[in-house]
Amino acid sequence: MNKKELSEIRKNFSDTSDLFVLNQVATAFVDSEKNIRCQTSRAYHNIASEESDCLMATLKRVLAGTLGKGLLEYEFPKEAYEEGGSQAILYEALQSKLEDETAVTTLMEQIVRNMDYVSTYAILVGHCTYTVFQKSKSDELDPYQSHDYRFLVAAICPVEIRVDGLIYNEDDNAIEKKNVYDRIVAEIPTDGFVYPTFTGRGPDVNHVLYSAHKPKDVNISIIENVLGCPFNRTAQEQKETFQSMMQEIVSDELSYSVITGVNEKLRDIAAEYANEPDLPIVDDIHVRDILLDSGVSQERAEEMQMAYRKATQDKPITVNNLIDNKTTISVDGITVSIGKDATDKVRTQCVDGRRYLLIDLDDPAVEINGLTARIAELQPEPTEPESDLTDLPEAEPESDETAV
């Protein structure tokens, strides 16, 4: 599933789209003891608009995020297709259109039994249909050729108890403390998934798309236990692995220019493929060439190349997962953040044995703690003119007389 295909589904995931229909919605509430307290499955068109709007908005949020970071695609292993396997359960629920109670219950139990979660939560699962019109070579839609992409989208939403303070009770016409608490289902899911993926503008039942609201907080139990897929490192872990290798292998050659140069060249690769549907990746050859172009020695660049190849195990990292959007320089008590387009205005320098961080300023005015201050120009210190010996007063001659 590439960026273009994700964008197509995301754009049409709405009641206002003539090509998209949310057919059925199954819901469940799970308490802290992993008990399913309630479970329903209803036709979407029978749900009141106030509720259906919330369901639509929450399910659509599963598609939010960036491929390779918050949205991770996984391929099912062979055992997932066996009876009782994760792919088999998802496929059965998909085929039932969430109208078969047994299939819905099996899916809900698969999630509840295998997922680790820190609080009570709600499960929302939608069965959707997107009508896909074929495209010509000129990328125009053919109104006479189409097929349906049917898929499930699931959202895991935390449920929190809302504790109100004083309220106005209209029945008693009094201000009082509310004794009944509401359990609020969060509008933003922490996790979710889409099955099957939309690949080649059609369904791919062999892949599933996992969604994490916070890419740094991936719920591994959903990927490995619910979906039954081998977990790949998160975007943050991929970046940390790369930085760790750089620190260990290139440490004696790391400098401001090398570090910012590597980041700049990674950004160039991302920009080059910005309009391509597939995410650009960085293989070991890229890593070697980037380091060489940034001033690293041949020996260190090739050593880094071999370490990177071994660490990624033929699964190259997406370039966007390695890019820093800003450069941060930190020493004790000082932190300087530099925008991506201003790294050339900063340099390091050693003068008279002291190390300096120099910043070129185009504007004499800078903002400090919200206040504008001007940097005065350095005026040369005045120097006293050398004394002219001819201007000195003449010394009085010494007297030969001795005082008595």
Q: Is the pLDDT of residue 61 over 90?
A: yes
Q: Is the pLDDT of residue 382 over 70?
A: no
Q: Is the same domain home to 214 and 278?
A: no
Q: Is the pLDDT of residue 203 over 60?
A: yes
Q: Is the same domain home to 205 and 290?
A: no
Q: Is the same domain home to 246 and 192?
A: no
d(CA 69, CA 237): 11
Between residues 136 and 209, which one has the greater pLDDT? 209
Of 283, 305, 321, which closes a domain?
A: 321
Task: Using DSSP, state whether 90 is helix, strand or coil.
Answer: helix
- Alpha helices (H) in 294-387, listed in sequence order: 298-312
Both tokens of 282, joined, read 């960085």
Between residues 63 and 361, which one has the greater pLDDT? 63
* CB-based contacts of 367, cutoff 8 Å, min separation 6: 373
Give this prediction's pTM: 0.81
Mean pLDDT, residues 73-96 taken together = 97
Mean pLDDT, residues 218-225 taken together = 97
383 within domain boundaries? no
Mean pLDDT, residues 58-71 taken together = 95
Mean pLDDT, residues 308-335 taken together = 88
382 within domain boundaries? no
Per-residue b or e along 28-52, where b marks 16 or more CB atoms closer than 10 Å to that residue's CB: bbbeeeeeeeebebeebeebeeeeb
Q: Is the same domain home to 186 and 287?
A: no
Of 232, 249, 277, which closes a domain?
A: 232
Which among 41, 44, 153, 28 has a CA at the least distance from the CA of 90? Answer: 153
pLDDT of residue 316: 77
Q: Is the pLDDT of residue 206 over 50?
A: yes
Domain that holds residue 352: 326-373
Q: Is the same domain home to 16 and 141?
A: yes
Q: Is the pLDDT of residue 59 over 50?
A: yes
Q: Is the pLDDT of residue 104 over 90?
A: yes
Do the beta carbons of residue 248 and residue 224 sit within 8 Å?
no
Percent of the chain with pLDDT over 70: 93
Of 210, 232, 254, which closes a domain?
A: 232
pLDDT of residue 389: 47
Mean pLDDT, residues 247-275 taken together = 93
384 within domain boundaries? no
Q: 331-365 pLDDT, tens per residue? A: 888 999 998 888 989 988 898 889 888 998 888 88
What dihedral angle (degrees, nearest 10) is formed by the CA atoms of 199, 202, 203, 207?
Answer: -10
Q: Is the same domain home to 331 and 207?
A: no
Task: Using DSSP, state whether 265 is helix, strand or coil.
Answer: helix
Q: Is the same domain home to 60 and 116?
A: yes
